Structure 1
């Protein structure tokens, strides 16, 4: 049987990580990995999470199955975090949310339910997008179409071409959008641009599918939720995949949720049943531990306050590294403008240098960057930023 299988191409990021680990240089820097690191180069467990774990150890009485939809309190509290506790949609009966195994699990469940509802729908994906979006969602059977998102010349959202394309999207098709902290570009939609896209979605009748994996890491918890809150208010249908990997630091716990907003409460009940049927066929039920921690944090006033303070520290550290790096490499022999790094949000930006520059950075200086030139700003710290900046300036001479 298995002799028919062919080798799978290695993930370029994983290959880069392996090369980084084998590099003996003490000055090496990994800007390819997609996790947050603090100023000591660590991906720490948040203090609020540690305290929630201690509390959970006292409260938890069983490891029995919790059900396909996951933890009910987690689902409720995540909805309040995403949309705000007073959002009208939460009391409309039109919302169904399920706990999912991370943002990837949420995306896949959402895709499978949409395919069941409208198998002929195309999925429109911005260029560029997170590399796993297309294989993850395309494997549900979608025909993938693309809309322009990022302008490599201006290093901003190519909003005119994006809107022009979205005005051609047929009713019933699905448009994937990043909620905030766009991966891989860092170029986010402004509130005005969210307004424009919402108006077009309402006019054309397509369904937005928002991937929100970084709420709180851009401009703030509420600010980063502007787009999905607006669409939940204005549109009859919306799908949102959310993740707690980054804003709670729960990467390995696989903690996420998939949320459907439908036209009527009756439709919400049906969609919820379909989503649970999909989940049952894929993984049966989601992991409990991370969701229980998130629920404890969001449900405890002191823990929630401390978590928000920790998250704000993370957000501000990334912002400071953006500014420090951009200012340090702005004066370069090639005359390249890197000010976009300061203007953008979240963990990622495109450096925008050539492949030859990338090879030199890796071979001469031990600086590891993926071929797209996406860099993880959270991989930069006060100890390595000067070396990084000098290395970049050197290869640009």
Structure 2
């Protein structure tokens, strides 16, 4: 805490509430398209929901589209594969073009399938090919644990020591330094587009170029970037990427994820892949041939037939993003996160997220004294503010462009102004 006088900060925030409401009147967002959970505590009926970086909220349209798909199963049984309102056999293709637009890819480079870490493993089977002295994998030191587990297990799978194979960089600058110093040993760079802990947005284009210059393959985990910041994966020449759909994409807990493979890796011999029923081309799938004939697209990385009822909410979400536009949402996300950043600095919070707006997504993280989870629980139970904690001492707040408000940000700062003096 830089300002020990929490009472003064709280009084200043109290005077600013009308300003937050004025901002919302001028910049209303799309809150009416979402179901906002009721507040558990405090004086407002709705939550100030700032945990969309952990789990996004349910769009109003999700229920009806899902009920339509359930109804087709009841009405048609197996014939729904061909005759449903949205036939099941080609259902995943309905998601391809909007997902490609969302991440700045060509449709043939994009597929919606599986879950995030499953997709990362399927892609690393193809793109992590250690040879000779080029065996290392470079990740960020604060990578999401699942990514760390995944790359370590890939090293073990190839008979390598994970402790020496996996290199960890503490910052974007250190990523470049490691590539410059040890590039000849690095086979794969795998980083988070937006860091899950700090909310820092990495320069995906520049780091990808630096990785390629060092002779490495470059992949990205876009769990905290997809639906949060504009992406141009094709133009940036990213080799591969994967993302989940349950955070900023609001497709529900454990929602079906996405994957990208740059077109230069498609068709012909291509990299090796694990294959299954859905890896072969659609036109000849039911010839039941014993040898796969993969299409020259990211669909070749599919293994199993898609879960239709789980894809329905993803389709709803992607149509929302198509309707509103990622550039519009990015601009609003920057306004919200900038306002929250300003409020948190005003109460003396120890902000971890970069101050420069282009270097962050719609997330602001602060370091608290102790017991981040307990503080998070108090925010919800006493003030109706839903945030997210990463123990031992980081509190994350994500004002999501689609449904968060300036007043939500104000409520979070006012609650923290009351609570932080107790935990500092």
Q: Classify the TM-score, shorter chain.
A: 0.5 to 0.7
Structure 1: any 5+ residue segments left out of the alignment? 1-23, 38-42, 151-157
Cα deviation code 1:64-115 (max 9, x no counterpart) = 5999998344345533543345xxxx6xxxx665542222321222233445
Corresponding position of 1:139: 153
Deviation digits for residues 287-314 of structure 1, max 9, x if unmatched? Answer: 223435545776x7xx6643648x956x
Distance apart, 1:128 and its partner CA? 0.9
Distance 2:374 2:321 in 1: 45
Matches of 1:134 and 1:339, distance apart in 2: 22
* Distance (whole Å) between structure 2 residues aligned to residue 136 and residue 386 of structure 1: 36
Aligned to 1:306, which of 314, 320, 323?
Answer: 323
> Does the CA-based 8 Å contact 1:245-1:251 persist in structure 2?
yes
Q: Distance in 1 between matches of 2:258 and 2:147?
A: 16
Residues 68 and 284 in structure 1, CA contact (< 8 A), matched pair in contact too: no
- Of 66-75 and 244-253, the range deviating more from structure 2: 66-75
1:111 aligns with 2:124: yes
Q: Tell me the distance in 2 between the aligned counterparts of 1:200 and 1:177.
A: 13
The aligned residue for residue 12 of structure 1 is none
Equivalent residues, number: 330
The 1:145–1:239 alpha-carbon spacing in structure 2 relative to 1, beyond 3 Å, is same
Cα distance in 1, alignment partners of residues 90 and 198 from structure 2:
33
Aligned residue in 2 for 1:330: 345
Q: Structure 2: which 5+ runs fail to align?
A: 1-38, 157-161, 280-291, 293-298, 382-386
Is structure 2 residue 418 aligned with structure 1 residue 391? Answer: yes
* 1:82 partnered with 2:103: yes
Partner-residue secondary structure (3-state), 1:146: strand
1:101 is matched with: 114
Give the whole-Å Cα distance in 2 for the aligned partners of 1:79 and 1:25.
Answer: 38
The correspondence for 2:390, drawn from 364, 370, 387, is 370
Match of 1:265 in 2: 267
- 2:141 corresponding residue in structure 1: 127
- CA positional deviation for 1:173: 0.8
Q: How far apart, CA to CA, are the structure 1 residues paired with 2:109 and 2:272?
A: 9
Cα RMSD between the aligned structures?
Answer: 4.7
- SS at 1:74's partner residue? helix
CA contact (8 A) 1:330 1:338 kept: no
Tell me if structure 2 keeps the 8 A contact 1:70–1:100: no
Describe the shift of the 1:287–1:253 C-alpha distance in structure 2 as closer, same or farther (beyond 3 A). farther
| Counterpart contact for 1:175–1:208, Cα < 8 Å | yes
Q: Secondary structure at the match of 1:231?
A: coil
SS of equivalent residue, structure 2 residue 259:
strand
Aligned to 2:287: none
**1-side partners of 2:235 and 2:130: how far apart?**
24
1:129 is paired with a residue whose SS is: coil
Task: Give the equivalent residue in structure 2 for 1:218.
Answer: 228
Q: Does 1:203 align with 2:222?
A: no
Distance 2:351 2:366 in 1: 10
Q: Give the structure 2 partner of residue 163 of structure 1.
A: 176
CA contact (8 A) 2:250 2:317 kept: no
Maintained 8 Å contact 1:328/1:386: yes
Distance 1:99 1:212 in 2: 13
Secondary structure of 1:225's match? coil
Conserved? CA contact 1:186–1:345, under 8 Å: yes
Distance in 1 between the 2:313 and 2:261 partners? 23
SS in 1 for 2:390: coil
Structure 1's 318 and 35: CA in aligned 2 closer, same or farther, altered over 3 A?
A: farther
Q: Deviations over 1:218-245 (max 9, x none)?
A: 34xxxx213x23332xx7xx12113322
C-alpha displacement at 1:134, in angstroms? 1.1
Given that 2:186 and 2:216 are in contact with CA atoms closer than 8 Å, whether structure 1 keeps it comes out as yes
Instruction: State which structure, 1 or 2, has the greater radius of gyration over its C-alpha atoms.
Output: 2
Aligned residue for 2:54?
Answer: 35
> What secondary structure, in the 3-state scheme, does the structure 2 residue paired with 1:265 have?
coil
SS at structure 2 position matched to 1:391? helix
Q: Deviations over 1:132-173 (max 9, x none)?
A: 2112343344535234243xxxxxxx42x2211122233661
Q: Residues 244 and 257 of structure 2 are in contact (CA less than 8 Å); yes or no, is this contact kept in structure 1?
A: yes
Q: CA deviation at 1:255?
A: 1.3
